[in-house]
């Protein structure tokens, strides 16, 4: 049960904050049209009663908070439903390029080469450092398991991991 009463907000009360809200939305969305839409949605929500002002904050602060929520909703919706519409320069019927998330063959080759070099560098580490890298990092064993296997303390495990990583970076 809400103990506060909602305060009626007129169009005149809100319109004075419009420019500020549009600038705020443009900074967040990087798109003037979307910013205008977001501010329009805020005003519509307030006028229709879907958002109600309780008077616990300044009107501008409250409108900004409502706008932030609208922006978050817009970003989530855009991420969920990525637009595959043709761009203006592709109106001749050409399909829009969709970039594949998988690495290209040349990127795969480069990644394999880096992995091979890293594995060789791990193999070249002193035995104590190589073992902690092998068990903790490569085989993803728990710290507790690695410590029991190597008969070392957890602090010593972290020291060895730090030293191993430092040698691999150099």
Cα distance between residue 73 and residue 107, in whole Å:
35
CA 66 to chain centre: 21
- Give a yes or no: residue 97 inside a domain: no
In-domain check, residue 159:
yes
Is residue 33 a part of any domain in this protein? yes
Q: Each residue of 148-162: pLDDT tens digit?
A: 999 999 999 999 999
What is d(CA 51, CA 54) in angstroms, rounded to the nearest whole number?
10
Q: pTM of the entire structure? A: 0.43
Domains: count for the chain: 2
pLDDT (tens digit, 9 = 90+) per residue, 80-108? 665 555 455 555 554 555 566 777 888 88
138 in Cβ contact with 168 (< 8 Å)? no
How does pLDDT run across 49-76, given as a tens digit for each residue? Answer: 776 667 677 888 888 888 888 888 888 8
Contacts of 118 (CB under 8 A, 6+ apart): 168
Q: Are residues 123 and 79 in the same domain?
A: no
Domain residues for 57? Answer: 11-83
Is 41 within the bounds of a domain?
yes
> Does some domain include residue 88?
no
What gap in Å lies between CA 53 and CA 55, rounded to an integer?
A: 6
């Amino acid at each position: 049960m809400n103990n506060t009463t909602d305060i009626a907000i007129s169009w005149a009360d809100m319109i004075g904050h419009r420019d500020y809200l549009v600038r705020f939305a443009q900074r967040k969305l990087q798109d003037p049209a979307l910013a205008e839409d977001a501010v329009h949605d805020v005003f519509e929500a307030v006028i229709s009663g879907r958002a109600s002002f309780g008077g616990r904050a300044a009107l501008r602060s409250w409108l900004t908070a409502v706008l932030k929520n609208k922006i978050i909703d817009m970003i989530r919706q855009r991420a969920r439903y990525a637009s595959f519409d043709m761009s203006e320069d592709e109106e001749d019927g050409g399909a829009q390029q969709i970039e594949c998330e998988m690495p290209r063959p040349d990127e795969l080759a480069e990644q394999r080469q880096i992995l091979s070099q890293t594995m060789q560098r791990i193999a070249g580490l002193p035995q104590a450092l190589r073992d902690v890298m092998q068990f903790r990092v490569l085989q993803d064993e728990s710290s507790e398991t690695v410590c029991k296997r190597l008969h070392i303390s957890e602090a010593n495990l972290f020291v060895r991991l730090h030293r191993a990583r430092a040698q691999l970076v150099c």
